[in-house]
Structure 1
């Protein structure tokens, strides 16, 4: 199945399911849906950072501190977090990501929004990211990530989630 054909739950401002639609239609019409953001840390507490491939439907070629993606129709946030983390990191047998907090992301232009859940996971396995998802990757310290925030172009929803995560931990 092509990514744009994947069926997603459409949700309201309270995260209640109101219908279903293919991902391509959800994106084209700006329908509210669900996403997960998983911060992956290695054994040395460094953060997995990657640049998305140029072929991604949303935010191509931008950097992100999270792995994750859309929650499929009928799928739980927790199941999506584990699935997406294993897929994007290219590992199996990852521990279940720890749920931290939900938030409603609204795009800067206000035309798109999605319910988001932020997670964290420890990945001590050797990673082998999906070539179709990840164009570059590395594990960076928090200080390195902070330095790169002003240098690289980041996905806006991931940046919003990262800022919320820092506030959550403060």
Structure 2
């Protein structure tokens, strides 16, 4: 099978509908802490989720994923940190390096913005995501046991992070 090249670009307001649909069709208790979306659907972008916080992956002009990386808080003392606050890949593009490309692009963008640290939170039972993050240099920095109730079970909230400087 020939896999088209993945283009990573900044999100634009015009991506709202396609990203909202991607979010809906990829929803899973493996990674989501919010309930499954139900109609009527709201916009993808809002005052807390701005297009400039997102990078989009395209293949042959079709959006196949996105990553959101933003400051974890508005505190000036944390201006050097970016946090992955969402990483989604369409089922048709999974296992083809799209998530890795998005993650690397988010780290590159964070470095370019002056960030020196990247963090994220991942559900303890999401082994594929945890393996991806570990392979990209993220280390477990804390675990909040049973912090979340997802899919009828208590799930650990795993805190991971890495430096964006040096190796």
TM-score, scaled to structure 1: 0.28
RCO higher in structure (CA 8 A, sep ≥6) = 1
